[in-house]
């Protein structure tokens, strides 16, 4: 982490204020640098966001700055900060119709597809995890939680909240060319046959999830309230403070900052000291799915009824510099 900011300062300063993606989703998606000021969006209260013309259904961020998104074609793309473009990430033949994505501290990508849950290991092979789900969150310390497929009842969107536990027989040291701009060594169990994993359900149901650096889960229930599931005891506690409307999605940055999007598209940030929510953006460009990358910098997808009008906005172009 201590080397990340100087590198980002040098790299991102070279392509000025922003990056705009061409319309459509070719493979890969090229990005045009140096947009004019008309491409800065949102009547921001505390943050300036830049528009990337990339129509996306979901977005996930790693605590070291990795950002991946699920396009409206339900394929996976990751943002290359060096080449300034979105790259298509190929999946196995069995992987289709991706619905959710998140990224861990080492740049490993976790996805939920129609056929199951997968992560991309250090050999660039997709490894299947047990079960299925609706949403997935990965913390800075590699804790993995999901919104499962066990619906509470037929009249609610609430699904079970589960934490992943794995045992490994291996201790391989791998070097992975991360989706950022550097190589990183880390331990991982690559043979799936030697990795025994199972999910443990917490006593809460939800519609969206992300993970704190300490392994606790931040959960949005279908009634729009926010709860925290303890990663050790699995005790559930409601987050104090009132939002003006129901929460829709939630994210937690690597420093523990928690953001939510609410029903009207505004983004709110939580203050654990005062137990209050503070508005970050107006609803000029309504937010839907959200994630926080390095230094708790938010990225979000636009809420829109038509795929043609969906795009991603980011504060990273400004706040890294």
**Is 180 a residue whose pLDDT tops 70?**
no
Q: Which span out of 35-39, 63-67, 316-320 was modeled with the highest average pLDDT?
A: 63-67
| Domains in the chain with CATH codes | 4-319 (2.120.10.30)
Mean pLDDT of the chain: 79
* Distances from the Cα of 161 to the Cα of 171, 261, 266, angstroms: 29, 19, 25
Strand 195-206 versus strand 208-211 pairing type:
unpaired
Q: Rounded to two decimals, what is the model's pTM?
A: 0.81
pLDDT recorded at residue 188: 46
pLDDT recorded at residue 44: 44
pLDDT recorded at residue 168: 62
Which two three-digit tokens encode residue 151?
């619906």
**Is 239 a residue whose pLDDT tops 80?**
yes
pLDDT in tens, 291-305: 998 888 899 999 887
pLDDT recorded at residue 45: 53
Closest alpha carbon to 91 in 50, 123, 126: 126
Ranges assigned E (strand) in 169-319: 172-177, 183-188, 195-206, 208-211, 217-220, 226-229, 236-238, 247-252, 258-262, 267-271, 276-279, 287-292, 298-302, 312-314
pLDDT recorded at residue 318: 60
Q: 10 Å Cβ neighbour count for 63?
A: 26
């Amino acid at each position: 982490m201590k080397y990340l900011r100087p590198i980002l300062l040098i790299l991102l300063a070279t392509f000025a204020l922003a990056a705009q993606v061409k319309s459509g989703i070719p493979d890969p998606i090229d990005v045009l640098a140096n947009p004019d000021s008309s491409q800065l969006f949102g009547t921001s209260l505390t943050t300036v966001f830049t528009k990337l013309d990339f129509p996306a259904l979901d977005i996930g961020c790693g605590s070291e700055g990795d950002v991946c998104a699920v396009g409206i074609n339900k394929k996976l793309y990751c943002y290359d900060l060096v080449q300034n473009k979105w790259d298509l990430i190929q999946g196995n033949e069995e992987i289709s119709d991706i619905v959710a994505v998140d990224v861990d501290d080492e740049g490993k990508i976790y996805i939920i597809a129609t056929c199951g849950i997968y992560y991309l290991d250090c050999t660039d092979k997709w490894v299947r995890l047990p079960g299925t789900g609706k949403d997935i969150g990965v913390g800075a310390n590699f804790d993995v939680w999901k919104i499962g497929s066990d619906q509470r009842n037929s009249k609610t969107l609430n699904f079970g909240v589960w934490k992943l536990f794995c045992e490994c027989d291996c201790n391989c040291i791998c070097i992975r060319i991360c989706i950022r701009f550097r190589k990183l060594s880390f331990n991982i169990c690559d043979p799936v046959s030697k990795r025994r994993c199972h999910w443990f359900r917490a006593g809460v149901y939800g519609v969206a999830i992300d993970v704190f650096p300490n392994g606790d889960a931040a959960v949005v229930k279908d009634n729009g309230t926010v709860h925290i599931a303890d990663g050790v005891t699995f005790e559930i506690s409601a987050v104090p403070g009132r939002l003006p409307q129901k929460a829709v999605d939630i994210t937690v940055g690597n420093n523990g900052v928690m953001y939510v999007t609410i029903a009207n598209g505004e983004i709110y940030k939580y203050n654990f000291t005062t137990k209050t929510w503070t508005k970050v953006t107006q609803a000029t460009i309504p937010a839907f799915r959200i994630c926080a990358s390095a230094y708790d910098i938010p990225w979000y997808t636009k809420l829109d009824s038509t795929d043609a009008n969906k795009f991603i906005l980011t504060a990273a172009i400004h706040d890294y510099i």
